[in-house]
Amino acid sequence: MTWTNLQFSCSHQLARETETALEELGATAVTFGEGADAAPQFQLEPGDLPQWEQVQLTALFDSRQDFGRITRALRRRFPQLADTPMDLEALPEQDWERAWMEQFKPIHFGHDLWICPTSCAPPDPAATNIMLDPGLAFGTGTHATTALCMRWLAQHRADGQIVLDYGCGSGILAITALKLGARQATGVDIDPRALTASRENALKNAVSDRFDTCLHGELREDFRADLLFANILANTLIELKPLLLSRLAPGATIVLSGVLRDQAQQVCAAFRPEIDLQVETLDDWALLYSVA
């Protein structure tokens, strides 16, 4: 398969919304870079959006996508982009993976939890180090929605629990839970490439004997989780509510992410009365969690 980057600049204010729209339009990854007016930025925390006035967005798509449809949809949704030039750059798959690895550096969560690309030596070998390559799946910890879940795991841990990671992407959350003491974890996704990446990452972290994967709709009928993560978009979480709740063991904890701060109350309301969700935020994003 070949990949194509769609690149354009937009204002800082529009960047997050545009990122979400690009993901909804099928982008596999969206990264931010310096616009033409950029001043250097230092000491960014995971999930931070640099304060450049103009942000260069690079969205990676499967080359078979209809780019006319994508750019028309973006311009319809964001009239501010009507005259913005949008460039396409075809990438051989190798280059894309290398580009990713160059941007992906060790990230620190909580006092002793790190995500490290396999190409780097862990900065603190005595810490809990999750060695990870995203492959073609979402989930490196750089995005605020994942960072919120990692921060939650660093605080709450997962001792002895059965974990369900719904929308597992790279497997980052399931694997972290296993490294933090979970008994068993299952990753579910609609994308078979995510399941491949998750299994490879579980092997790299020596947890594959406690990790299973399956496609959405193929989860064992009697599977119940003590701890369920779902980092997907707000509307999908609301649609999946009956399915997610049916997979909780008595007294289980549910952790939802992928929700914009402005959408948090809508998702909380949708999960009531069965579940009362508490909200934590990072940048424009919210994590919702409960003890059922």
259 binds ligand SAM (CB under 6 A): no
Q: How far is CA 139 from CA 80, 134, 165, 197, 220, in A?
A: 30, 6, 12, 10, 24
29 binds ligand SAM (CB under 6 A): no
Point out which span in 169-177, 199-207, 219-227, 263-271 binds ligand SAM (CB under 6 A): 169-177
We find the least distance from the C-beta atom of residue 102 to ligand SAM, in angstroms, to be 20
We find the least distance from the C-beta atom of residue 77 to ligand SAM, in angstroms, to be 20
Which string of x and - marks every residue 190-219 that binds ligand SAM (by CB under 6 A)?
xx--x---------------------x---
Q: What are phi and psi of 54, to 5 degrees?
A: -110, 130
Q: Which is nearer to ligand SAM, 75 or 241 (CB)?
A: 241
Q: How do beta strands 54-62 and 29-34 pair? A: antiparallel
For residues 168, 173, 177, 182, the Cα torsion angle rounded to the nearest 10 degrees is: -10
Q: Which is nearer to ligand SAM, 81 or 131 (CB)?
A: 131
Q: Which is nearer to ligand SAM, 165 or 200 (CB)?
A: 165
284 binds ligand SAM (CB under 6 A): no
DSSP-derived secondary structure letter, 182? -
Which string of x and - marks every residue 212-251 that binds ligand SAM (by CB under 6 A)?
----x--------------xx---x---------------
How far is the C-alpha of 288 from the C-alpha of 292, rounded, in Å? 12
How far is the C-alpha of 178 from the C-alpha of 164, rounded, in Å? 11
If binding means CB under 6 A, how many residues of this protein chain bind ligand SAM?
23
How far is the C-alpha of 228 from the C-alpha of 165, rounded, in Å? 6
Q: Which residues pair with 229 in a beta bridge?
A: 165, 255
Binding-site ranges for ligand SAM (CB under 6 A): 137-139, 145-146, 149, 165-169, 172-173, 188-191, 194, 216, 231-232, 236, 258
